[in-house]
Structure 1
Amino acid sequence: METQKYPVLMRFMHWLMAITILGIIGSGWFMTGLDPDTAPYKYDIYFWHKSFGVLALMLIIARTIIRFSSNFPRLSANLPAFETVLAKFAHFSMYLLMFAVPVSGMLMSEFGGHAIPFFGLTLPEVIENNKELAGLLHSIHTTIPFVLLGIIGLHILGALRHRFMDSPENDVLKKML
């Protein structure tokens, strides 16, 4: 018999990561727009942004392990093939980008010679400074959250479409709540 809902731990991780990722992206945009002369707290936000970024990386690793070790509802067999492919591509892309964003940020900090805090601890520096590579990683780190947000937007629209405009067996939102 098919599981009707995602396991509690998967649902918890889904919503925890949604809140964490949106908060990290929002804080990143907010802090980079601040002028340190008029907003002396700007670098305090960097501390929290980096700490939650490290946490997000740990959560995505845990979430991936949980996902591959859990039984969860399969996509409905009556979905059109293109929707099944699109859903699988979107999920794969989100997992990849949820990993790539914090990794690129951590590498950017490491190559830039900046410490990586984790809620009062400082991660050990293991990479030599390389400002050129730090600059490239900065470009990557500030671009891929836009791609991630675009895919998250499509993910939300797809869930809402299946919730309100599709047959009940395709209601994935009900399975995740």
Structure 2
Amino acid sequence: MQRVRYSLLQRLLHWIVALCVLGALSAGFVLGTLGFEGAKNSFGLDTTNAIYKYHKSFGVLILGLMLVRLGLWVVLGRPALPQSMPGWQRVAAIATHGALYALLIAMPVVGWMATASGGFPIEFFGYVLPGFMAKDPELSKWLYEVHGALGVAILAVVALHIAAALHHWRVKRDGVMRRISLP
């Protein structure tokens, strides 16, 4: 018999990653909109540096957690979707989850590369991680643009994911949300 819920670890990781993504995207959009100088003028140098540090730290954390989630998905799989769900919704659900996994792994990797090629430290809370790349300001600029575009893509896919979840939870009431809920 196929299970109807994700494992407790998979469910916990889902919600932890969701909170980390919310924080990282929020900080990223502030930094991307204002830039370093604009953020420094708005918040001061210490706060701006802290925002960058924690944005990078949560990006590295998201990367690590997503790799664990990917490994759990490979080992444990996913629970069955309700039989009442139309085929197109099944395809949309699988495609949305696949896009989220790909984007949430690609985003911090590109951010890491942009930061390293910009000559900036890769910070993970109190630690500095290796950059693995030589300084290349032109490459860094392009990678930061890609990083920003990935942020917009994540926002769009997350909005679709949340809208579908709310539809299944509040409109269809078909038990789909029970697959990922904590209680």
**Deviation of residue 138 (structure 1)?**
0.7
How many residues align? The count is 175
More displaced stretch, 62-71 vs 106-115: 62-71
- Of residues 168, 172, 176, the one that matches 1:172 is 176
Correspondence for 2:93: 87
Distance 2:40 2:173 in 1: 52
Alignment gaps of 5+ in structure 1: none
Correspondence for 1:11: 11
* Aligned ranges 1:87-166 → 2 under 5 Å: 87-166=93-172
**Deviation of residue 5 (structure 1)?**
1.9
Distance 1:65 1:19 in 2: 20
- Secondary structure, in 3 states, of the residue corresponding to 1:36? helix
- Give % identity: 31
- Give the RMSD, CA atoms, in angstroms: 1.5
- Of residues 41, 63, 68, the one that matches 2:69 is 63
- Of residues 60, 64, 68, the one that matches 1:54 is 60
Distance 1:94 1:100 in 2: 10
- Secondary structure, in 3 states, of the residue corresponding to 2:172? coil
Q: Deviations over 1:112-146 (max 9, x none)?
A: 11110111111123211111111110101111111
Contact 1:3 1:71 (8 Å CA) reproduced? no
Correspondence for 1:24: 24
- Secondary structure, in 3 states, of the residue corresponding to 1:53? helix
Q: What code does the residue aligned with 1:125 have? A: G
**Deviation of residue 167 (structure 1)?**
5.4
Is 1:42 paired with 2:48? Answer: yes
Alignment gaps of 5+ in structure 2: none
The structure with the greater share of residues assigned to helix is 2
Contact 2:115 2:121 (8 Å CA) reproduced? yes
Q: Deviations over 1:81-108 (max 9, x none)?
A: 1111111110110000001110110000
Q: What code does the residue aligned with 1:156 have? A: I
Q: What code does the residue aligned with 1:92 have? A: G
Contact 2:82 2:176 (8 Å CA) reproduced? no
TM-score by length of 2: 0.89
